[in-house]
Amino acid sequence: MRAHRSGALWVVNSAALQRLGADSTAAPPGVKRDGSGRATARLWRVDGWLRERIGARPPSLTAIGARLAAFGITHVTDATPDSAAVPVLAGALHRGELPQYVTSLATHRPAPVSHPRLRLGARKLVVADHELPELAALVRKISASHAARRPVAVHCVTPAALALTLAALDEAGHHAGDRIEHCPRGYRGRPRTRRTPAARDHPTDVHHPAGRRLPGTHPARGTRRPLAIRKPAARRRHHGPGSDAPYGDPDPWACLRAARDRTTPSGRVLAPGERTSTARVLRGMLSRPCDPGGPPRRLTTGARADLVLLHVPLDEALCHLDSALVRATYVGGRAVYGPVPPR
């Protein structure tokens, strides 16, 4: 069994298909079939079904929580649409494995599952590139989410998926907090209106295989090209930076470097005109999880102490951009990384 680097596709051999019972009528639609109706080796977005079939257990998140704290991260957003991820996250929070606040984009949060640092954000909707949904079906999902007073975070990475998503939003109506995840390039040229949703960008995409292509050599068929946060037509639109981990680097300092330098793994610069100042990207990182790219959070008297202390002044840190500059991280006033000050 092998996973595609996108995380959306599993490829298995015939023996695995048989053991999984993929030919059963109870198998989900993501199990692709040939012309005769037999299951093929391709399993699209069936993680939950696979977990049930193989009896997988969630791993400890202690190492991940500690690593994120060392980067200076106090809040994370889990973009898993499957609600089965919510109890896993709640368990990790209860056991102290994750010291951060967690915003989940799952379809819903099971009623018995709760934790003070776990909250439900926008509803994640996936517009699958290999099999676009019907417009009416997407409109129904968006409308249902809005009726529940939740915005949507729509995953789409191709111009076709973007066009479908924008058409669905126009028909369903817009809700404060609606956003486009991954932001296909065609979104850059769309005129901004009051009905234009925000977008989530991933500067470290320049480190991905697609980022090794230079402008002008990018395939014309509509695949994704790594984007910057700042473009003339998009300056007034909210664009929130994100890591896209585990597919992107979870280190926010690497995200800042990528946005500033636009350097690919081969050392070449991808679209130098799209370089973005570190101060601008940092402001996006400091926005609230429910409003990516919105106003940055501020230190005020009586506010919850979610803080990162550095070894050097901020201006110097924004020149060097290294996680080693993090001296201490506090979540809710509690030190989760670095020396604990004497009381």
Q: What is the DSSP letter of 57?
A: -
Contacts of 330 (CB under 8 A, 6+ apart): 74, 305, 306, 307, 308, 309, 336
Q: What is the DSSP letter of 43?
A: E
| Percent of the chain surpassing pLDDT 90 | 39
| Percent of the chain surpassing pLDDT 70 | 82
| pTM of the shown model | 0.80
* Calpha distance 225→264 (Å, rounded): 12
281, β-bridge pairs: none
**Which helix (H) or strand (E) is 52 found in, with range?**
helix 47-54
At residue 25, the pLDDT reads 65
Question: 189-193, 211-215, 259-263 — which one is most confidently predicted on average?
Answer: 259-263
Rounded to 5 degrees, what are φ and ψ at 33? Answer: -125, 155
In 3D space, the residue among 60, 66, 58, 59 whose CA is nearest the CA of residue 84 turns out to be 58
Tell me the three state secondary structure of residue 328: strand
Q: What are 291's two structure tokens? A: 């409003």
Indicate the pLDDT class of residue 278, thresholds 50, 70 and 90. very high
Q: Are 163 and 187 in contact (CB under 8 A)?
A: no
Indicate the pLDDT class of residue 227, thresholds 50, 70 and 90. very low
pLDDT over 60 at 210, yes or no:
no
Q: Are 243 and 249 in contact (CB under 8 A)?
A: yes
In 3D space, the residue among 169, 98, 163 whose CA is nearest the CA of residue 132 turns out to be 163
At residue 238, the pLDDT reads 67
How many other CB atoms are found less than 10 A from the CB of residue 166? 19
The position carrying tokens 């957003």 is 77
What is the tens place of the pLDDT at every residue in 173-204? 989 889 988 766 555 555 454 455 677 777 77
Summarize the confidence of residues 63-81 as an average pLDDT: 95
Distance of CA 191 to the CA centre of its chain: 24
Crossing angle for the helix pair 159-172 and 135-147, to the nearest 10 degrees: 50
At residue 212, the pLDDT reads 42
Summarize the confidence of residues 48-69 as an average pLDDT: 86
Summarize the confidence of residues 152-172 as an average pLDDT: 91
User: Read out DSSP for 197-218?
Assistant: -EEEE-GGGGGSGGGGSPTT-S
At residue 191, the pLDDT reads 45
What are the respective helix, strand and coil percentages of the chain, to the nearest 5? 30, 20, 50
Pairwise pLDDT comparison (245 vs 123), residue with the higher score: 123
What is the tens place of the pLDDT at every residue in 241-253? 888 888 888 999 9
The domain locations on the chain are 2-54, 123-295
- The verdict on domain 123-295 having CATH code 3.60.10.10 is no
180, β-bridge pairs: 154, 199
pLDDT over 70 at 78, yes or no:
yes
What is the tens place of the pLDDT at every residue in 282-295? 998 999 888 888 88
At residue 213, the pLDDT reads 41
CA dihedral 228, 229, 231, 236 (to 10 degrees): 170
Pairwise pLDDT comparison (129 vs 185), residue with the higher score: 129
- Pairing between strand 334-337 and 326-331? antiparallel
